[in-house]
Structure 1
Amino acid sequence: MMHSHIAAIYGYIDDVLDGRIPACEHIKNAARRHLKDLEASEDPEYPYEFREELVIKFIAFCELHHHVKGKWRGQRIKLEPWQKFSFGIPFGWVRKSDGLRRYREIFALIARKNAKSTMAALVGLYMGAEDSSGAPEVYSGATSEKQAREVFDPAWRMANTNRAFKAHYRVNLTGTETNPTGIFFTGNGGKFVPVIGNPGDGASPSCSITDEYHEHPTSSQYDTMVTGMGAREQPLRLVISTAGTNISYPCFEKQQDCIKILQGVMKNDEVWAVIYTIDPDDDWRDFGCWAKANPNMGVSVFEDFLLARYEEAMTKAERQNIIRCKHLNEWQNSGQAFINIVEWAKGADPTLRLEDFEGEECALGLDLASKIDIAAYAKLFRRENTYYAFLRYYLPEMTVQKAENMHYQQWEKEGRLVVTPGARTDFEYIEEDIKEDAKRFSVRGLGYDPYESGYLINNLAKWEGNRIECIEVPQTATHISEPMKDFEALVYDGKFKFDGDPILTWMISNVIQKQARNKKYYPSRENVKNKIDGFMATLMALLVWGSETEEGPSVYEGRGIMLL
């Protein structure tokens, strides 16, 4: 018979996926990911397995503690199904090879008043008391003393009011009720302490808790914690936050990476993510969608409280942004994603082969970069009204070898990324590929960004082989707006196909749409790490084919073709 805690998790998953519980697509993706991995784990070759007894152990530990504030103060904690799902599941997945935890990071974006600090406190106590590593070190980190105490103080009080817990784990508490300073587990030599800034020299965190990560202007504390975990067999990083108002801070980038992991765009088997917010197509003015971002509605955050915030946002324009930020988890200065990644994925066809287009007419697109950004080269074929894209990417060896660029290293192994020697991309590799393609296909033309292209374009001009019509495409809204609309229409109409290229999918997910003063649209990105070069190369190839819309001039009108 299934244990009640496990039944609650799967009941929650069923209710979310069947629409009985309001949930955004990110939570649905987290649920689907768990079910998919559970099915995959039946394969002996799959490296992970899900052990329900570990989930039960974690939840049972949490429910031995008591609330320390509010109307339930003194009462036993009872986790809600969404909490068992969000925080229980990552403790159940382990590696088959050695039984160590699979997930080394939990990212949880949870709106204000939904008991996120309570859950963080429970995770900290569990990691201090039950972690298998010798002398566990748990740090509750923040940018200020006040914020560090949002998690640590409740944990200290939970321990202080639980005699059985203190006796069993031989807990020694330092400080006072009004100024708690440390939780020490003399049975296993562990400790749980707050930290502002970076932990001191010699620290070896087995668990780090980063609360309200949106307030961190840099990733310094997070990075220091990660570096210090090197000697731990199964460390855990808990990053927990609401949304913020500064997308240049690392929390926003962390969230975007987690969204890509949940979508299957990026692969990271060690990160578990739950993001409670509303969907992009939800209208925040519809109070019905607020439950998506507030999973503890009716328990720790009440409907009348949220209704009051809703009315405040509706009637006071100056309060709207902060309310949507804190109670709906909407970042308030982030851009709008250009393409819905689910719709984009429908165009993936892994059976497509470049050799099947031998001799056919194609348009080329080129977006060059020499150091940090990726140089992207696109070939775009058209059969009737459907387009077929094949891309190649280039980066210098020194960039690919950096530790933070493991995804580049993986793409090189898969043959998707060409790595050139040295610190700068060698454009001769690209030039040779273009010349080879000019022999294989009927090249309609090559659209290129003039930035960094002069040398390569001049070399093509001197080439005695097949002549290539080269079209300079200024990267301005005036020239890019219409093809962006064309591209979007092709994707949503199912008329844009690609071979499942994971790099292009990643880049498409990074594109945000912005509007210039002349009402024209142009592509952008949230930060420099979010590459969009493959999209730009594809867009320029589409320009070579000419506009597919009835309104707006073709790329050739008014500017003409530069013939080389």
Structure 2
Amino acid sequence: MGLRGPGAKPKGKGGILSPKLRETLPWEAEGLSRVERVIAFLEDLPVTAGKMAGTKMIVRDWQREFLEAVYREDEHGNRPVRTAVLSMARKNGKTGIAAGLALCHLAGPEAEPRGECYAAANDRFQAGKMFAEMVAIIGQHPELDARCNIIRFRKEIEVLEGQGKGSIFAALSSDATTKLGLSPSFTVVDELGYAPKRDLYDALDSAMGARDNPLLVAISTQAPDDNHVFSTLIDYGLKVQAGEVDDPSFHLTLYTAPETDDPMDRETWLKANPALGDFRSEEDVARQAAQAERIPSKMQDFRNKILNQRVAAHVRFIAKAEWEACGGEFDIEVLKGRPCFGGLDLSAARDLTAWVLVFPMDDGTIHVLPRFFLPENGIMEKSEADRVPYDVWAQMGHITLIPGSTIDPGFVAEQMAEDAAQFDIQAVAYDRWRIEDLRRELDRIGAAMELVPHGQGFKDMSPAVDTLERAVAEAKLRHGGNPVLTMCAANAVITKDAAGARKLDKAKAAGRIDGLVALAMAQSIAARHEPEELPACLLAA
């Protein structure tokens, strides 16, 4: 079945045991459009596993819609789409369609001479699954079997004759030693939403420039957080769909259940599982739903993997929808000279430092002006370790990079002094960590401001958490969509003591929460300075 080594000659046709090969294949029929050729190819492939093994693939209507969008042609006969994103819940046939499309570009109607086709995955095992599926399909398809040579130990397939002659397929994983020198004509990235880093995707995406009509297909369940590369692709695709961005080279098909829908309702399941009741077991989804309803710790995972919602494994302190509702923009110029209050969360020498100002406005809203600091050295490694684009945020001006490998409190003090010259800072709440170093720097540059210690335990943080939570729930905050502060809000979790008091817990958080801690302290100190309401009898007098 083509399991030979490099440079093998085409296998001989004919003989008693050799199947008779068809002279005309379904996708070679006259009068077919481009997408019809792709569908004809896919529907000629065997199903190799599961309850439908032994039959041929049937392209469902929802799959056809995706294919028609991706393989449509412009007036010049070219395929405009270069990047296609397909996101749906698990077990809806992602691997099958991905393997079929890889074969279509390797040896089918989309093949080109000496093409390079790749399947990229997060690890060697996952990359091997795609390769194994393709090998199984080839082994049960005589015409493909006669033309393809399989090199198992390298997880490669080469086309020896016919359409796509000289083309190769290779399975890649994120731990591959190098991705340099590739020139992909087709790439499928499997489960990109769970990639630990974005470097494999970026390398394959940037390598497509050497081809005239390349295509990259990313297929995955949603990533758990907004900053993941797959989340950024989905968000970009939604902007394209909404007409906010004009980019005919990008297509998104997203099957997801809105977070406001009842997770126990079958109609909710259908929105994320287009194959439900077909080859996606409804009984299995119902079983997992029942477990999630009985076991709260399973609900987040159910929402992510079965409902394809962008939901982290931890329970957020602030709901995503509520935080986004507070993302209103504002003009910094209107804040100049206004009374405000600060929160300062100084970090360890190499971590994120947050300096946040809050401005109580006349209309009852609270404008938030956050500042963040990180050491410049090792910023790329820090971005990879925390899986967020600190380097990009620094370029956008959301983070100040301090020269060297550690946080110099002098830079933070200078920013505080600069802000004090523009705004009327009434008081600054601070965590006692490293505060003496900062005091010394503020004294050195002559920046006088009232510094108020703010404990991080239940006694001091519980009222701060309550104040912040109420401001968000009532949509009074205006944080301007700052991505670093948004990351901190998404990571934040709280813990309670026996009396029900609450605090933000850095140890249990999913990532950095320094910005939200600083915001909570600023809100807390601002609340202490709010004028008390006079009794009605005094007002009447």
TM-score (norm: length of structure 2): 0.68
- Structure 2 residue corresponding to 1:491, chosen from 472, 475, 479: 472
1:358 aligns with 2:340: no
1:535 aligns with 2:516: yes
2:158 alignment partner AA:
F
What's 1:544 paired with?
525
Would you say the 8 A contact 2:151–2:157 is kept in 1? no
Distance 2:323 2:302 in 1: 32
1:367 aligns with 2:367: no
What's 2:23 paired with?
none
Distance 2:297 2:520 in 1: 39
What's 2:403 paired with?
421
What's 2:279 paired with?
300
Distance 1:276 1:255 in 2: 20
What's 1:50 paired with?
none
After superposition, give the CA deviation of every residue in 1:124-157 in whole Å (9 maximum; x if it has no partner). Answer: 2234343658441434657576x55643343334
User: CA, structure 1 residues 309+464, in 2 after alignment: closer, same or farther (shift >3 Å)?
Assistant: closer
1:542 CA drift (Å): 0.6
2:494 alignment partner AA:
K
1:485 alignment partner AA:
D
- Structure 1 residue corresponding to 2:118, chosen from 138, 158, 169: 138
What's 1:470 paired with?
451
- Structure 2 residue corresponding to 1:397, chosen from 350, 356, 376: 376
User: CA, structure 1 residues 501+59, in 2 after alignment: closer, same or farther (shift >3 Å)?
Assistant: farther
1:258 alignment partner AA:
F
After superposition, give the CA deviation of every residue in 1:87-136 in whole Å (9 maximum; x if it has no partner). Answer: 76566799x9x988643x85745223x21221221232234343658441
- Structure 1 residue corresponding to 2:159, chosen from 174, 185, 188: 185
- Structure 2 residue corresponding to 1:381, chosen from 359, 369, 374: 359
After superposition, give the CA deviation of every residue in 1:339-384 in whole Å (9 maximum; x if it has no partner). Answer: 344443343443x222322322110122223665332222211124
After superposition, give the CA deviation of every residue in 1:35-74 in whole Å (9 maximum; x if it has no partner). Answer: xxxxxxxxxxxxxxxxxx8777655653453434433743
**Counterpart of 1:504 in 2: which secondary structure?**
helix
Q: Report how many aligned residue pairs link the two structures.
A: 473
- Structure 2 residue corresponding to 1:123, chosen from 84, 101, 120: 101
Would you say the 8 A contact 1:140–1:152 is kept in 2? no
Q: Which moved more, 1:267-276 or 1:334-343?
A: 267-276
What's 2:315 paired with?
336
When Rg is computed on C-alpha atoms for both structures, the one with the higher figure is: 2
1:515 aligns with 2:501: no
Residue identity over aligned pairs, in percent, reads 21
User: CA, structure 1 residues 413+204, in 2 after alignment: closer, same or farther (shift >3 Å)?
Assistant: closer
Unaligned runs of 5+ in 2: 1-32, 241-246, 531-541
What's 2:27 paired with?
none
Q: Which moved more, 1:407-416 or 1:419-428?
A: 407-416
1:480 aligns with 2:461: yes
User: CA, structure 1 residues 431+149, in 2 after alignment: closer, same or farther (shift >3 Å)?
Assistant: closer
User: CA, structure 1 residues 325+189, in 2 after alignment: closer, same or farther (shift >3 Å)?
Assistant: same
**Counterpart of 2:493 in 1: which secondary structure?**
strand
Computed over aligned residues only, the root mean square deviation of the Cα atoms, in angstroms, reads: 5.0
- Structure 2 residue corresponding to 1:433, chosen from 415, 433, 450: 415
1:414 CA drift (Å): 3.9
Distance 1:193 1:280 in 2: 38
User: CA, structure 1 residues 378+311, in 2 after alignment: closer, same or farther (shift >3 Å)?
Assistant: closer
Distance 1:503 1:318 in 2: 27
User: CA, structure 1 residues 215+317, in 2 after alignment: closer, same or farther (shift >3 Å)?
Assistant: same
1:460 aligns with 2:437: no
What's 1:505 paired with?
486
Distance 2:503 2:103 in 1: 49
**Counterpart of 1:471 in 2: which secondary structure?**
strand
1:242-261 aligned at under 5 Å gives the runs 256-259=228-231
What's 1:557 paired with?
none
What's 1:448 paired with?
430
Would you say the 8 A contact 1:365–1:539 is kept in 2? yes
**Counterpart of 2:463 in 1: which secondary structure?**
helix
Would you say the 8 A contact 1:515–1:521 is kept in 2? yes
Would you say the 8 A contact 2:467–2:520 is kept in 1? no
Distance 2:281 2:368 in 1: 50
Would you say the 8 A contact 2:341–2:428 is kept in 1? yes
What's 2:12 paired with?
none
Distance 1:202 1:511 in 2: 32
**Counterpart of 1:299 in 2: which secondary structure?**
coil
1:77 CA drift (Å): 2.1
What's 2:148 paired with?
172
1:456 CA drift (Å): 0.7
1:506 CA drift (Å): 4.0
What's 1:345 paired with?
324
User: CA, structure 1 residues 340+380, in 2 after alignment: closer, same or farther (shift >3 Å)?
Assistant: same
Would you say the 8 A contact 2:326–2:478 is kept in 1? yes
User: CA, structure 1 residues 319+225, in 2 after alignment: closer, same or farther (shift >3 Å)?
Assistant: closer
After superposition, give the CA deviation of every residue in 1:396-434 in whole Å (9 maximum; x if it has no partner). Answer: 332446695894454444443333322223332321222
Q: Which moved more, 1:485-494 or 1:395-404?
A: 395-404
User: CA, structure 1 residues 92+199, in 2 after alignment: closer, same or farther (shift >3 Å)?
Assistant: farther
What's 1:77 paired with?
58
Distance 1:469 1:490 in 2: 24
1:543-562 aligned at under 5 Å gives the runs 543-546=524-527
Unaligned runs of 5+ in 1: 1-52, 244-250, 550-564
- Structure 1 residue corresponding to 2:137, chosen from 154, 158, 165: 158
**Counterpart of 2:467 in 1: which secondary structure?**
helix
User: CA, structure 1 residues 256+232, in 2 after alignment: closer, same or farther (shift >3 Å)?
Assistant: closer
1:499 CA drift (Å): 3.8
Distance 1:266 1:407 in 2: 21
1:495 CA drift (Å): 1.3
2:455 alignment partner AA:
P
User: CA, structure 1 residues 255+134, in 2 after alignment: closer, same or farther (shift >3 Å)?
Assistant: farther
Would you say the 8 A contact 2:343–2:518 is kept in 1? yes
What's 1:246 paired with?
none
Distance 2:495 2:307 in 1: 25
Distance 2:175 2:289 in 1: 38
Would you say the 8 A contact 1:369–1:375 is kept in 2? yes
Distance 2:495 2:36 in 1: 50
After superposition, give the CA deviation of every residue in 1:150-202 in whole Å (9 maximum; x if it has no partner). Answer: 433433343344456x39xx7314489xx997542223422335578955779
